[in-house]
């Protein structure tokens, strides 16, 4: 073979044989060739054939890889390969919420081996046993840490998980303190499985047992709970029956809970709602193919032809239900929290009757588009056509009785997507007279006065959304800001009140109770 026909190696192949040349693809608008790192697969530009960028990245990537290998070897030798692998696996399972039997999954085992051949995979039973040890070690570590803290505040809350198969309840107990080394700190003392009913006696027993095990009974200066009656009973029992009255701890009720009750009761958010309305997503999974229920104002089911077309495709709604945190407080969710719905006033008030009627319509729309894909597709198309470029469609938020600011989110949606919803409403009303979608919209159509009330409520509630964010801080103290924020809300209501119709006066009368 002649030397002329032999292919000469490129400069990249000569100096960096493991690197791969990546030519720009047609239509990308990038004419500079690139080289791909064999370690991290990052692409480096080669301007005019220069290898300076490749050379610099090769040096830094080699050093980084060597440091990683040295650290792994150091920890492996120090702890032993099995111990090291077990600790990292426990951390993965706990923080990612993976099932324990993931270690028996062949695909997971193959993935782990591809990352590190020396990784020793434990059995499911070994993993469960080690996690139990971690829980015990955590409790001992918390006890040791709190032993040097003289004053401790406690946050206590009951959390419930409800499903078709089972219902579980837990009591979360968190310690808050100040130390010179850390500043304002918090530690989870215990997460107790609450057996039986949520009575004051059961809650008091769980709290006392956990605090006694942590060795901090005599250091408790305050216990913060929500305003459920069972929590008041529990605090009384801790003082009298369990002898904690000598410590003189103060029972603080959750300000966010008080604010929640003040808003929903003053404005009559749930005055005209039935029990099924209070959790607009309840029963959705059992709704069937076409769940035009009594909330739509209709008695007859959809016609047979529409039933075949309108099959539920719930996966469409999953992405739209995710909250990015930009619209409301992070504590909005659809979990069932009995205490926050316990003292909500459901009696009808003449001054807030208009608000209740409006919210019933909005909740019906939120529920209906999750039950009818014909309605969802029509709304999606109408909103998309009315939005400027770069703005995406978001599904109508759900409104739940345990979070007042879920109502704020609901109002915000109809304010933001007003033009698109109006187009959707016109299209529904333009359908033939016997069409079920037309009949539904006729019963739930928004009038100009409804849109005006949405704007009024938006302006009224905006400062309260800011206050909710302020009072929900977990990394800074909030109790010192209560008086200032409450007075600010009162002044805002007095200067911006437009009359009794918007509920501002009734809401202002509730603020001193905070």
Q: What does the domain layout of the chain look like in residue ranges?
A: 28-78, 80-136, 147-253, 258-461
321 has pLDDT over 50:
no
- Token reading at 298: 């209709």
323 has pLDDT over 60:
no
Question: Worst-scoring range by mean pLDDT, 227-241, 313-327, 427-441?
Answer: 313-327
- DSSP secondary structure of 102-162: GGG-HHHHHHHHHH-TT--PPPHHHHHHHHHHHHHHHHHHHHHHHTT-S-EEEEEEEEEEE
Tell me the CA distances in angstroms from 342 to 178, 301, 352, one per residue in order. 34, 34, 20
Do the Cβ atoms of 293 and 287 come closer than 8 Å? yes
Total Cβ atoms within 10 A of residue 511 = 17
Confidence of residue 291 (pLDDT cuts 50, 70, 90): very low
Per CATH, the homologous superfamily of domain 147-253 is: Ribonuclease H-like superfamily/Ribonuclease H (3.30.420.10)
304 has pLDDT over 70:
no
Which residues 6+ apart lie within 8 Å of 12 measured at CB? 19, 21, 35, 46, 51, 54
Task: Report pLDDT for 448.
Answer: 92
Task: Report pLDDT for 458.
Answer: 85
Element (H or E) spanning 167, and its range?
A: strand 167-179
Question: Worst-scoring range by mean pLDDT, 1-15, 267-281, 314-328, 499-513?
Answer: 314-328
Phi, psi of 122 (to 5 degrees): -80, 165
Do the Cβ atoms of 224 and 230 come closer than 8 Å? no
Task: Report pLDDT for 392.
Answer: 77
Confidence of residue 247 (pLDDT cuts 50, 70, 90): confident
Question: Worst-scoring range by mean pLDDT, 152-166, 179-193, 391-405?
Answer: 152-166
**pTM listed for this prediction:** 0.55
343 has pLDDT over 90:
no
Mean pLDDT within 61-74: 66
Task: Report pLDDT for 272.
Answer: 60
19 has pLDDT over 50:
yes
CA separation for the pair 243, 150 (Å, rounded):
19
Strand-by-strand arrangement of the 220-225 sheet: 183-193, 167-179, 152-162, 220-225, 250-253
CA separation for the pair 225, 153 (Å, rounded):
11
Identify which has the larger pLDDT, 495 or 304: 495
Task: Report pLDDT for 72.
Answer: 52
Task: Report pLDDT for 484.
Answer: 66
423 has pLDDT over 90:
yes
Find tokens 């579980």 and name the residue.
168
Task: Report pLDDT for 162.
Answer: 56
Partners of residue 250 on adjacent β-strands: 222
Do the Cβ atoms of 33 and 23 come closer than 8 Å? yes
């Amino acid at each position: 073979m002649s030397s002329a026909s032999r292919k000469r190696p490129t400069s990249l192949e000569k100096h960096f044989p493991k690197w791969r040349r990546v030519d720009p693809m047609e239509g990308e608008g990038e004419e500079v060739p690139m080289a791909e790192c064999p370690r991290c697969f990052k692409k480096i530009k080669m301007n005019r054939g220069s290898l300076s960028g490749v050379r610099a990245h090769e040096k830094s990537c080699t050093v980084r890889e060597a440091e990683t290998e040295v650290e792994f070897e150091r920890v492996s030798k120090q702890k032993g390969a099995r111990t090291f692998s077990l600790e990292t696996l426990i951390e993965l399972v706990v923080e990612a919420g993976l099932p324990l039997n993931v270690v028996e999954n062949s695909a997971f085992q193959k993935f782990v081996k591809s990352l590190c051949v020396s990784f020793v995979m434990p059995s499911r039973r070994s993993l469960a046993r080690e996690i139990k040890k971690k829980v015990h070690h955590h409790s001992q570590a918390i006890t040791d840490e709190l032993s040097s803290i003289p004053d401790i505040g406690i946050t206590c809350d009951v959390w419930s998980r409800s499903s078709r198969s089972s219902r579980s309840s837990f009591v979360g107990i968190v310690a808050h303190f100040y130390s010179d080394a850390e500043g304002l700190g918090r530690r989870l003392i215990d997460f107790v499985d609450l057996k039986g009913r949520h009575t004051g006696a059961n809650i008091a027993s769980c709290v006392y047992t956990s605090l006694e095990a942590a060795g901090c009974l005599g250091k408790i200066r305050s216990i913060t709970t929500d305003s459920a009656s069972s929590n008041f009973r529990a605090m009384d029992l801790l003082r009298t029956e369990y002898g904690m009255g000598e410590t003189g701890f103060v029972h603080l009720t959750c300000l966010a809970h008080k604010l929640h009750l003040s808003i929903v009761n003053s404005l009559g958010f749930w005055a005209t709602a039935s029990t099924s309305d209070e959790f607009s997503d309840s029963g959705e999974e059992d709704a069937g193919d076409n769940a035009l229920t009594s909330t739509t104002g209709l008695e007859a089911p959809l016609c047979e032809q529409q039933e075949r077309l309108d099959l539920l495709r719930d996966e469409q709604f999953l992405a739209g239900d995710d909250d990015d945190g930009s619209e409301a407080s992070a504590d909005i969710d659809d979990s069932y929290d009995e205490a926050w719905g316990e003292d909500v006033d459901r009696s009808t008030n003449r001054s807030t009757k208009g608000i209740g009627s409006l919210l019933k319509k909005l909740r019906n729309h939120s529920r209906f588009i999750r039950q009818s894909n014909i309605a969802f597709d029509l709304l999606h198309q109408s909103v998309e056509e009315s939005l400027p470029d770069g703005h995406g469609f978001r599904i109508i938020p759900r409104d739940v009785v345990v979070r007042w600011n879920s109502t704020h989110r609901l109002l915000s949606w109809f304010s933001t997507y007003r033009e698109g919803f109006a187009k959707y409403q016109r299209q529904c009303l333009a359908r033939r007279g016997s069409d079920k979608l037309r009949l539904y919209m006729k019963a739930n159509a928004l009038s100009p006065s409804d849109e005006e009330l949405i704007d009024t409520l938006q302006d009224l509630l905006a400062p309260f959304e800011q206050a909710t964010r302020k009072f929900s801080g977990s990394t800074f103290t909030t109790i010192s800001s209560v008086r200032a924020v409450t007075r600010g809300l009162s002044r805002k209501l007095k200067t911006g009140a437009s009359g009794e119709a918007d509920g501002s006066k009734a809401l202002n009368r509730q603020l001193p109770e905070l």
